């Protein structure tokens, strides 16, 4: 007989999901900075896509509206990239967000030392603990990032509508905005995983007695 312990993937997903659900508020706090950062990322990118579509219609009114809204466009331009300032703001907000996640996850993991110790006493390997934390972060990341991306896209459309008026609705780049939402969500998932790796590895490596000595 092979002397191996196991944790089937489906069961890990179940445990991770349950853990998020039961600790809803803790999960919310962990995810909040991610929601905001991804919303900002998506807002900036979707806004640029909309402006770009208006530019590409080639209409005089559109061009004037863009200039008025502060876009740095020349006659004959076909694309609007992120400005250097926008790019820095986005990168900075994503960095702050990862630091926020690491911080929140370190606290969340510390609160769960005892639980980790118990699981190890019941035969869990380090890899089980690591997998549970990564799955939780992935689920939280997905939900938070998707919510943030939608939020950002909605705000981008709304603020463009205010800036450009009816022009926006004649040239709304739905496909482009959807792509932006998807990439922003994926970015959010990655950031969430990035934020949990260090706390999760630290937790998974703890010896059972060490983990259980921590008073709650």
Partner 1 sequence: MPSDRSANVQHAIIRTTNVVKTFQLGSHTLEVLKGISLNIAADRHVSIMGPSGSGKSTLFNMIGGLDKPTSGKVFINEVDIAQLDAYELAWLRCRKIGYIFQTFNLIPVMTALENVTLPMIFAGTGNDEAVERGMILLKTVGLADRFNHKPSELSGGQQQRVAVARALANGPSIILADEPTGNLDLTTGEEIINLLKRMSEERKVTIISATHDFKMLNVSDEVIWIRDGLIDKIEQRDELRISVGTIE
Residues that bind partner 1 (CB under 8 A): 3-8, 11, 18-19, 22-23, 114-115, 117-126, 128, 207-209, 212
Identity of the residue, 119 or 143, whose beta carbon is nearer to partner 1 in the bound complex: 119
Q: How far is CA 213 from CA 104, 114, 139, in A?
A: 22, 8, 30
Close Cβ partners of 63 (under 8 Å, ≥ 6 residues apart): 55, 73, 75
When the beta carbons of 22 and 79 are compared against partner 1, the nearer one is 22
Minimum CB distance to partner 1, residue 127 (Å) = 9
Q: Rounded to the nearest whole angstrom, what is the least distance from the CB of residue 2 to partner 1 in the complex?
A: 9
Structure tokens at 196: 């949990």
Dump strand ranges (E) for the chain: none
Question: Cβ of residue 108: shortest distance to partner 1, in angstroms?
Answer: 12
Nearer residue to partner 1 within complex by CB, 176 or 208 = 208
- Among all chains, which residue has been given the structure tokens 């639980």? 115
The least distance separating partner 1 from the CB of residue 161, rounded to whole angstroms, comes to: 44
Q: Whose Cβ is closer to partner 1: residue 38's or residue 135's?
A: 135
Q: 134-158 burial by CB neighbour count: b if 16+ within 10 A, else e?
A: bbbbbbbbbbbbbbbbbbbbebbbe
Shortest Å, Cβ 15 to partner 1: 8
- For residue 193, how many other CB atoms are within 10 A of its CB? 17
Can you say whether the dihedral through the CA atoms of 151, 100, 188, 112 is positive or negative?
negative
């Amino acid at each position: 007989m092979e002397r191996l312990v196991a944790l089937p993937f489906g069961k890990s997903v179940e445990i991770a999901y349950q853990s998020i659900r039961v600790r809803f508020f803790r999960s919310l706090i962990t995810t909040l900075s991610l929601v905001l950062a991804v919303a900002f990322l998506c807002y900036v990118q979707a806004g640029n896509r909309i402006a770009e579509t208006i530019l590409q219609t080639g209409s005089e009114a559109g061009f004037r509206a863009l200039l008025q809204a502060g876009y740095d466009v020349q006659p004959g331009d076909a694309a609007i990239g992120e400005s250097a300032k926008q790019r820095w703001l986005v990168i900075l907000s994503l960095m702050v967000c990862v630091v926020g996640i690491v911080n929140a996850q370190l606290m969340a993991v510390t609160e769960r030392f005892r639980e980790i110790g118990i699981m190890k006493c019941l035969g869990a390997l380090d890899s089980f603990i690591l997998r549970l934390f990564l799955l939780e972060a992935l689920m939280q990341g997905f939900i938070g990032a998707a919510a943030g991306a939608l939020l950002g896209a909605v705000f981008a459309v709304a603020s463009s509508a205010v800036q450009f008026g009816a022009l926006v609705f004649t040239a709304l780049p739905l496909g482009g905005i959807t792509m932006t939402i998807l990439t922003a969500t994926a970015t959010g998932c990655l950031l969430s995983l990035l934020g949990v790796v260090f706390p999760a590895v630290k937790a998974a490596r703890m010896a059972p007695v060490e983990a259980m000595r921590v008073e709650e």
